[in-house]
Structure 1
Amino acid sequence: MNVNYLVLIFTSLYLGGTFLYYKYAKKKGMEFRYKPFYLLAVAILFVLSIYGIITGKQFF
């Protein structure tokens, strides 16, 4: 399996879980405790993996 696909899977799971936790915290009135730097880094990895899959280049 290409590394880009593995990065895409793991970043998708992380971002999806973060989004679900955000919705849950907002519904319960709790504080959302994720650091923006980590979310930005994971989002950049997500975009790079999608770009690598589309172009056929392996970035990782």
Structure 2
Amino acid sequence: MGVNYLVLAFTGIYLAGTFGYYKYAMKKGIEFRYRPIQLLAVAVLFLFALYGIIVGKQFF
């Protein structure tokens, strides 16, 4: 179960940082350089870890 928390923490930090950079890029008018498929993969990992914590199963 500890791995789910670890994956959730790291993907949460990554997604929060990406969102912060997105807001900064829009404010400054610069290009947002992240790839959508990469963000989608990280979001899916976040959701799997969250689901694993909720139901008590380890997916990773």
Per the shorter chain, which TM-score range? over 0.9
The count of corresponding residues between Structure 1 and Structure 2 is 60
State the Cα RMSD in Å.
0.9
Structure 1's consecutive aligned runs of 4 or more residues displaced over 4 angstroms after TM superposition are none
Q: After superposition, where does 1:15-30 map in structure 2 within 5 Å? A: 15-30=15-30
Q: For each residue in 1:6-38, what CA deviation from the matched residue of structure 2 results, as whole angstroms up to 9, or x when unmatched?
A: 000000000000000000000000000000010
Structure 1: stretches of 5+ with no match in the other structure: none
In the alignment, the residues of structure 2 paired with residue 50 and residue 8 of structure 1 have an alpha-carbon distance, to the nearest angstrom, of 7
- Could you tell me the TM-score, scaled by structure 1's length? 0.98
Q: After superposition, where does 1:1-60 map in structure 2 within 5 Å? A: 2-60=2-60
Structure 2: stretches of 5+ with no match in the other structure: none
In the alignment, the residues of structure 2 paired with residue 32 and residue 47 of structure 1 have an alpha-carbon distance, to the nearest angstrom, of 23
